[in-house]
Structures are given as C-alpha cells and as structure tokens.
Amino acid sequence: MNLLLHYAKPYWKQITCAVLAVVTMATATLLQPQFLKRMLSAIIADNSQAVLHNGVWLLALAVVGMVAGVSGTFFASRVSQSVAADLRRAEYEKIQSFSLTQIQKFSSANLVIRLTNDINQVQRFAMQLMQIILRVPILFAGGLVLAIWTMPGLWWVIVLMIILIMLTTGRIFGKMGGLFGKFQHILDKNNTITQESLSAVRVVKSFNQEKQEEDNFAASTKELTDLNQKIAYIFSLMTPVYMLISYIAIAAALLLVSQTILKNPDELAKITPFITYLNQILFSLLMMGMVSNMASRGLVSLKRIGAVMAEPSTINIHENAENGTVKRLNGNINVRDLFFAYPNDDKQVLRDISFNLPAGQTLGIVGSTGSGKSTLALLLARLYQPSAGQIDIDGQDLQTIDQETLHQNLSIVLQKPVLFSGTIEDNLKMGRPDASLADLEKAADQAQASEFINQYPDRFGQEVSERSSNLSGGQKQRLSLARALVKNPSLLILDDSTSALDARSEKLVQEALAKDFATTTKVIIAEKIASIIHADQILVMDQGQIVGVGTHQELLDQSEIYQDIYQSQKAKEDNHG
C-alpha cells in the first residue's frame, strides 16, 4: 500500500474531492429512509403539508446523492488513471535500468504482465478504494446505528443477520486461499508460451510444430480457465446466500411487527425505513465481499509491482561530468582476473580472463562455439556484471562510469541484430538523436547499407516492420552496424556482426573501420579468422578461458587451437574455390 500511497500523493486535491463526494452520497443515502418514515407518518396522520415538505426533502437528497455520485466517479477515475500511468512509467523506467541478469531473473514475459495486467488491476483497485471501499463502512455503520435507532426492539435481528453473513464470508474466503497468486502465476506462464510461439513463428512453421504449440497453449489456457471458473464459482455463492439471510431477517422483522401493529400503529411507518436500512447493511456486506475479490487481485498485483520497484539496480548510475558535459573516453581496456556465471547457474562461463588493449587498437576474439566470446562482449558493454574480477576503461572501473558517458562512448552490435518498428532513420538515430542526414548517409556508406537504402523511394524514411520481417539477415546486420557507427564511438564492440555479409561487403566494412575509425578501440568477435586477421591482438578462447594471445602470425606459430581453426577454414575455402 505504501507504493500506491506514494504515487497517489500528488493527486491529494482530487482524492479529497472524491472522498467528500463519496461521504456526501453515503450521507444522502442514509438520510432518505428517515424522511420516508416522516412522510409515511404524515400520510397516516393525513397531514398533506408534512407529506409535501418531506417529499421535497426526499427529492433534494436524491439529487444531491446523484450529483455526488457522478462527481465521485469523475474524480476517482481521474486519480486512478493518473496513478496507474505514473506507476507504469516508473516501473518501465526501473526495468530499463536493469541488467540482463535482472531481466532474466523476472523473465521478459513476466515483466510484460507486471507492466500491463498488474497495472490494470492496481488501477481498478484504486478506483474501488475511493468509491466503494470508502462508501461501504459509512453505509454499514450508519445503517446499523439508524436501524437500531428506528426500531430498538429488533436490534438482535440485525446482529444475527450480520453474524451469519460474516460466518458465510469467512467460510468462502477460507476456500480462496492463494488462488489469486496462483492465477497470476498461470497468467505469466500463458503469456510466456504466447510470446515464445510468436517470436519463433518461423521455427514453429519450418518444423511443422503448429499443432504442438496449439496444444501447449490450449493446455495453459484450460488451466487458467479452470482456475478462473473455480474463483467465480466460489464467489457466485455469496449473493444468493446473503440474500437468503437478508430475506429471513426481513421476514422475522415483519412477523414481529405484525404482532404489535394494532397496539402501536406508528410501527407501520417505521418498518419500511427499517427494512431499507437492513438492505443497506446487506448491500454494504455484499459489496465488501465483491470488492474483496478485486482488492485481493489488486494487492497481489501491487506486491508484484513492488518487487520490481524494490529490486536494486546492479548497474551503477552516477551523475554526469561537471556542467552536464559527457566525458570522451580514450578507450583503453584493462581486464583483470575476470570470472562470470549466468544467473541461477553455478558453472563459470568465463574463468580467469585477463588482457590489456591500448586505446585505438583492434582486438580480435576467436574460439569454438560456447567458448565464452559473446559473454565477454556483453561484460565489456556492462550488460552483465562480473562474478569476480574487474574491467577498467581508461583506468576507471567500468561499474563506476556514469551511464550517459558509457552510452555516448560505447557502441555494440550484437550477434543477433535487433531493429525496432519505425523508419530506418528512427533506428539509426537511437544512439545519436541529433544525427544529421549527412551523418546517417556516412554511417550507411561505412556499413555498406547505402546500396539497398537508396533503392527505397523514401530512403531513410522507409518503414521497418515489426521484428524487421521486411529485411534480410544481411540488411539487418548492415543497419545494426550503421546504428553503432553513427555515434562515432570511442569503443566499438562487434559480435560476429558481419557473418551475413558477402565477402566483398565484409571487406569494404573492414576497410571503412580501419580508415574512418583508426582512433576507436575495436573489439571484434568473429567465427572467421579472415575477419580479424589484421587485428593488433587476437585472443583465442576455449571453454571460457584464454588459451592463446598474439598476432595472427604469432598464433599460427604458437597456438595449436588457432592453427586448427585456421586450417579448417582455409580447407573449406579451398573446397569452395
């Protein structure tokens, strides 16, 4: 609740208005039976003036209640939507500060649910809190006091009705247990299946797995539906049971009053407001039970959102340099005694990694699949944090460099290129929003992307579809590379980023990197030795360790693993030739 109160605090004026409106509406509702009692007494006494007077008051209270109800709904709706929007924005910003380790801890599908469904649940809870939850205690307490005041001799009927309803409510909620938490868990599972199936739709279709995916989704949906129906069945018992208890209480009251009506004719005018108050008490308890459904879901969702907000970011974000200027890094890299294991896995993927790369030089990294090359790239980009050891950039611990400085100085092209829906220009400007058209054209030339960009009528205004499905693998790689180059970074990390390019295009990219980025420190991970043959240093990795360091010629003379890789690739080229 503290989290909800924190984000509701800026809207205290609207909340006050909503609360006043609810109190006014509840008060008007409670006063109406009293004027109805007076009106009935006036009718029995044949006092037409009193009938008119009390009738006007009844009408006035109805109008006041209606205006207050509309006003309360208006203010509660504005507050709940504003709080939900602020909370959603804050949660999204928090997620953006997470490292990959933290993203994997929650899972992307789970975080999507927390950003959408959980926020919606909290929004509904906030709306109910200001409208129904505040009104229920007023109606219950006021109805109880006024009912006893109206007919004191029937106090025990009211108390008995309340006790029976409370016992029924306790029994029903005792069966609920942790069903709401389980519901959210299954919803996360359902969302994960959907997300994986849609993101890997090509694989699903190529392996003819549509039926299997349909069965998986159907099974998860059935589990979700069964649980939802179970919750609905339990709650469906509440209304008929409450109504039965209420009718028994009303019947008992009418029976008792009928025995004394001849001796006390005034009781006739009291029985109607008394029954009205009984119904208000019943309504309050019924609403309390119904709202508890949404409140339970809202509190569970609030707890899940709170877990995200309370997660401490493992990426240290420090203030920028003085006067708001971003420091230009030289790009000297020093890695010492680096170890790393992925979350929830004790196996060390990287072990005792140490090397030094002077600013402006090129480091090539080769090794077999699973040797840890890409993992090292992610650590150098601070997407993961080392389990042990340290990475220094220009003599400063990578973990202490402020985020803005790091982002402005570092570009990374991942092994699997990722583009966003929008235009080509939107994608290229992600790292440098102020880039001019000339800057975009230069980066596109360097990445060998101009040849296909210029074929589009809109050139850089060409739309990129969802998941960049309208682009080939080579086009995606070139645009990803251009996006990295447009920043003119001091540190450039390329993780097998030219694998989908033809030999001619790859060579032209290498020439552009050597010519236009001579002062940029470059870390190039490659499957093909030809891609890093001219690097100043080459690391040979095997099973998470560095097993060879040197230039191409030095490694040919000294490293058996490097020799094997080189000879196998050379043999393939000869065979293709």
Q: What does the H/E/C string look like for 137-154? A: HHHHHHHHHHHHHHCHHH
Phi and psi at residue 534, in whole multiples of 5°?
-100, 10
pLDDT at 334 (0 to 100): 94
Q: What is the C-alpha separation between 232 and 371, in angstroms, rounded?
A: 52
DSSP 427-491: HHTTS-TT--HHHHHHHHHHTT-HHHHTTSTTGGGPEEPGGGTTS-HHHHHHHHHHHHHTT--SE
C-beta pairs of 399-406 under 8 Å, 24+ apart in sequence: 399/315, 399/316, 400/316, 400/318, 401/318, 401/329, 402/317, 402/318, 402/319, 402/320, 402/321, 403/315, 403/317, 403/318, 404/320, 404/326, 405/320, 405/321, 405/326, 405/327, 405/329, 406/382
pLDDT at 575 (0 to 100): 61
Structure pTM?
A: 0.68
Token readout for 394 is: 């220009």
Nearest to 288 by CA among 161, 164, 165: 165
Angle between helices 12-44 and 134-150 (to 10 degrees): 20
Q: Which residue has the tokens 């058209």?
A: 437
Nearest to 136 by CA among 30, 273, 17: 30
Phi and psi at residue 423, in whole multiples of 5°?
-95, 165
Alpha-helical runs (H) found in 151-209: 155-176, 179-199, 201-206
Give the three-class secondary structure for 521: strand
Token readout for 64 is: 């006041």
Name residues whose C-beta falls within 8 Å of residue 169's C-beta, 6 or more positions apart in sequence.
238, 285, 288, 289
Q: What is the C-alpha separation between 242 and 444, in angstroms, rounded?
A: 71
DSSP 1-36: -HHHHHHHGGGHHHHHHHHHHHHHHHHHHHHHHHHH
Q: What is the C-alpha separation between 264 and 482, in angstroms, rounded?
A: 94
pLDDT at 347 (0 to 100): 86
Token readout for 175 is: 């069966």
pLDDT of the chain, 577 residues: tens digit per residue? 788 888 888 989 998 998 899 899 888 888 888 888 888 778 877 788 888 888 888 889 889 989 998 998 899 999 999 999 999 999 998 888 887 777 877 877 788 888 888 898 888 888 888 888 778 888 888 888 888 888 888 888 888 888 888 787 777 766 665 676 677 677 777 777 777 777 666 666 666 677 877 788 888 888 888 888 877 777 777 778 777 888 888 888 888 777 766 666 667 778 888 888 888 888 887 777 667 766 777 888 888 888 888 888 766 555 544 455 668 889 899 999 999 988 777 789 999 999 999 999 999 999 888 888 999 998 998 888 888 999 999 999 988 888 888 888 999 998 888 888 888 899 898 878 888 999 999 999 998 888 889 998 888 888 888 777 788 888 888 899 999 999 889 999 999 888 778 888 888 888 898 899 989 999 999 888 888 888 999 999 999 999 999 999 999 988 888 888 888 887 766 665 5
Q: Output the CA–CA distances (angstroms, integers) from residue 138 to 168, 205, 377, 384, 404, in the order listed.
A: 22, 59, 62, 53, 53
pLDDT at 4 (0 to 100): 86
Q: What is the C-alpha separation between 136 and 288, in angstroms, rounded?
A: 7
User: What domains, with CATH codes, occur in the chain?
Assistant: 2-310 (1.20.1560.10), 333-576 (3.40.50.300)
Alpha-helical runs (H) found in 200-237: 201-206, 210-236
- Determine the straight-line distance between the first and last CA of the chain, rounded to whole angstroms: 70
Q: Parallel, antiparallel, or unpaired: how do β-strands 362-367 and 521-525 relate?
A: parallel
CA 123 to chain CA centroid, nearest Å: 14
Q: What is the C-alpha separation between 447 and 571, in angstroms, rounded?
A: 29
